[in-house]
A and B are shown apart, each in its own frame.
Chain A
Amino acid sequence: KAGVTQTPRYLIKTRGQQVTLSCSPISGHRSVSWYQQTPGQGLQFLFEYFSETQRNKGNFPGRFSGRQFSNSRSEMNVSTLELGDSALYLCASTGTSYNEQFFGPGTRLTVL
């Protein structure tokens, strides 16, 4: 079974721009969570989607948004990029058993 895929793997943007990241979960998984990872803040939860609905949300500004499609693929968008948004953005999908999250390789976003 294919794992979680994220595109693009690397991205360079400038301040003020917006960016869209994509995540395809493992086939059959309906829950997709997004995390931001930085050296200073560690792994921080952004939001979780289940069946096209945002079910949980972390403590991030409204510039960070997401959505999930009927095929469970998810996108996250960051508008008006700031230097501090430079991070590894990880997507994780969860199946039906317990809280085992399968993470993708991440998208490395650099904001200049």
Chain B
Amino acid sequence: LAKTTQPISMDSYEGQEVNITCSHNNIATNDYITWYQQFPSQGPRFIIQGYKTKVTNEVASLFIPADRKSSTLSLPRVSLSDTAVYYCLVGGRLYTNAGKSTFGDGTTLTVKP
């Protein structure tokens, strides 16, 4: 199983762009990289997923270098409501080893006014 490493915490201010990097040196060929957001006492919420290069959706971008040993979640113009724990998850697709996906320890992002 690919182990992930993220910074424990990060601080930012409203309106800034935030980049959170996740290291996953042992990522397997079939593994995808997924990021989740979790607020206190709630289940994690899917943000974005990618396999290589760059993926962008309405809330975030995900940058994955060619060697795929790391990935960076980019949150543009954060607001106070983006204060949460962000998890990087590396794992396989459904029907293969989806249940063996490994959550890292998460990064606590605090957005200040």
Q: List 27 A-B contacts (CB under 8 A).
A: A33-B98, A43-B44, A43-B103, A43-B106, A45-B102, A45-B103, A47-B99, A48-B98, A48-B99, A88-B41, A90-B44, A94-B94, A96-B94, A98-B94, A99-B91, A99-B93, A99-B98, A100-B46, A101-B44, A101-B46, A103-B44, A104-B43, A105-B41, A105-B43, A106-B42, A106-B43, A108-B41
Interface string of B50-74 (1 = CB under 8 A from A): 0000000000000000000000000
Which residue of chain A has the shortest Cβ distance to B94 in the bound complex?
A94
Query: Bound state CA distance, A11 and B44, in angstroms?
Result: 20
Nearest Cβ distance between residue B108 and chain A, in whole angstroms? Answer: 12
- The reply on A63 being an interface residue by CB < 8 A is no
Count how many pairs of residues, one from A and one from B, have CB atoms less than 8 Å apart in the complex.
Answer: 75
List chain B positions with a Cβ less than 8 A from chain A.
32, 34, 36, 41-46, 49, 87, 89, 91-95, 97-106
Tally of contact residues, A, Cβ under 8 A: 30
Residue interface bits A42-55, CB-to-B below 8 A is 1, else 0: 11110110100001
Please state if A100 and B34 are interface contacts (CB–CB under 8 Å): yes
